[in-house]
């Protein structure tokens, strides 16, 4: 019965999500799809009941990871080389050039039979990454590109020596440079927002969102996610705007919202612009995501709970938040 249900779910996921079988372990299987500038993985667990977990990883992130693993000779048979890309995803390399993907607590071995297409795609990504690195010019700690400009026409450069960010930008530019239309949302578009200073949200728009939270204020503590919202206000505001013993004030809420926004780094403001909050509640959710009070998966579930999992809207949303999370890593050590 387990095998029958497993095959049934594989067929459904393959059809609905446009993914292919990649690997399986004793309790679940892994599907993968190759998109324009990212990889979409779906982990299914058939028992005790059917559930799925989705992961969207930018192409550059995987190219960087596998380039490092390919170039590292590993001959230790009793333990693998472990490369953690983020809190929920890692790649293992074993002696004999064997690889496994780890999603959460589940590990999936990549066999030659089912993963040939995956590795062929990764090989192409690595070739593009190597080419991207050669295009970056250096002057001391300053790096820049000669032939490309941001969407606003500015020079693509980094004054802080963050060459990984420029690598990712160039990596995407090489993929989409021949397009006559604007490239899809990616590291290049986020970098352009940052370099072109085209990311600011006006105080009046923030004030409008803050004032719109009034209708929810009286029942906020009864919300299923009240604990999350409370943690957000405790971390991001100088004093609470909601709560059992807190009298709601439009003026105070607007002031707290605006202060919290202006306390964000330029990179976080770019992320906020892309997340595009339209209400007070969504603004709080975005603050929670950017301040890491709300995890990636919590945020995705809260934002997409009303959408069909295989819908274009939900897939775009999940890719976008994964992209933003990855974009933030370029500035953690700068």
Using an 8 Å Cβ cutoff, are 91 and 65 in contact? yes
CA–CA separation, 170 vs 176, rounded Å?
Answer: 10
* Distance from the Cα of residue 184 to its chain's centroid: 15
Per-domain boundaries in the chain: 2-128, 136-195, 203-329
**Nearest Cα to 201, choosing from 93, 275, 310, 135?**
275
Kind and range of the H or E run holding 83:
strand 81-86
Name the residue with tokens 């420029």: 166
pLDDT at 84: 93
CA–CA separation, 202 vs 209, rounded Å?
Answer: 11
pLDDT at 5: 46
Name the residue with tokens 């500015």: 154
The three-state secondary structure class of 32 is strand
What Cα–Cα distance (Å) separates residue 194 from each residue in 165, 182, 275, 331?
A: 12, 17, 15, 12
Q: Which residues of the chain have pLDDT under 50?
A: 1-2, 4-5, 48, 334
**Residue 193 corresponds to which tokens in the numbers above?**
């927002």
Name the residue with tokens 């595009």: 276
Name the residue with tokens 């949302």: 185
Q: How many CB atoms lie within 10 A of CB 214?
A: 13
**Residue 100 corresponds to which tokens in the numbers above?**
């496994």
Reported for 317-322, long-range contacts at CB under 8 A and 24+ positions apart, including other chains, are 318/54, 318/56, 319/35, 319/38, 319/40, 319/56, 319/185, 320/185, 320/274, 320/275, 321/275, 321/289, 321/296, 322/38, 322/55, 322/56, 322/57, 322/58, 322/296
The three-state secondary structure class of 22 is strand
Does the domain made of 2-128 have the CATH classification 2.30.31? yes
Name the residue with tokens 């929920």: 88
Per-residue burial over 188-198, b if 16 or more Cβ lie within 10 Å, else e, is bbbbbbbbeee
């Amino acid at each position: 019965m387990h095998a029958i249900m497993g095959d049934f779910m594989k067929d459904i996921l393959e059809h609905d999500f446009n993914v292919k079988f990649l690997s399986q372990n004793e309790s679940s299987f892994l599907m993968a799809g190759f998109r324009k500038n990212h990889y979409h993985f779906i982990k299914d667990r058939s028992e005790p009941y059917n559930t799925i977990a989705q992961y969207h990883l930018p192409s550059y992130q995987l190219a960087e990871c596998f380039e490092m693993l390919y170039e590292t000779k590993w001959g230790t048979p009793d333990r693998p080389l472990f490369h953690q890309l983020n809190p929920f995803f890692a790649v293992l390399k074993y002696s004999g050039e064997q690889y496994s993907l780890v999603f959460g607590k589940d590990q999936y071995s990549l066999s030659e039979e089912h993963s040939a297409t995956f590795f062929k795609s990764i090989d192409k990504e690595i070739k593009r990454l190597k080419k991207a690195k050669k295009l970056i010019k250096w002057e001391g700690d300053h790096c820049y590109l000669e032939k490309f400009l941001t969407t606003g026409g500015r020079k693509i450069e980094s004054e802080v020596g963050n060459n990984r960010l420029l690598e990712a930008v160039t990596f995407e530019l090489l993929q989409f440079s021949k397009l006559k239309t604007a490239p899809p949302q990616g590291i290049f578009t986020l970098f352009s927002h940052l370099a072109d200073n085209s990311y600011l949200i006006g105080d009046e728009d923030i004030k409008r969102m803050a004032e719109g939270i009034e209708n929810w204020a009286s029942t906020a503590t009864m919300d299923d996610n009240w604990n999350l919202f409370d943690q957000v206000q405790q971390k991001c505001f100088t004093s609470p705007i909601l709560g059992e013993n807190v009298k709601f004030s439009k003026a105070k809420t607007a002031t707290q919202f605006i202060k919290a926004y202006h306390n964000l780094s330029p990179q976080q403001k770019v992320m906020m612009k892309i997340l595009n909050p339209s209400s007070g509640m969504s603004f709080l959710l975005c603050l929670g995501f950017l301040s890491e009070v709300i995890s990636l998966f919590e945020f995705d579930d809260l934002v997409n709970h009303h959408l069909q999992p295989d819908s274009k809207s939900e897939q775009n949303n999940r890719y976008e938040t994964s992209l933003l999370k990855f974009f933030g890593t370029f500035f953690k050590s700068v």
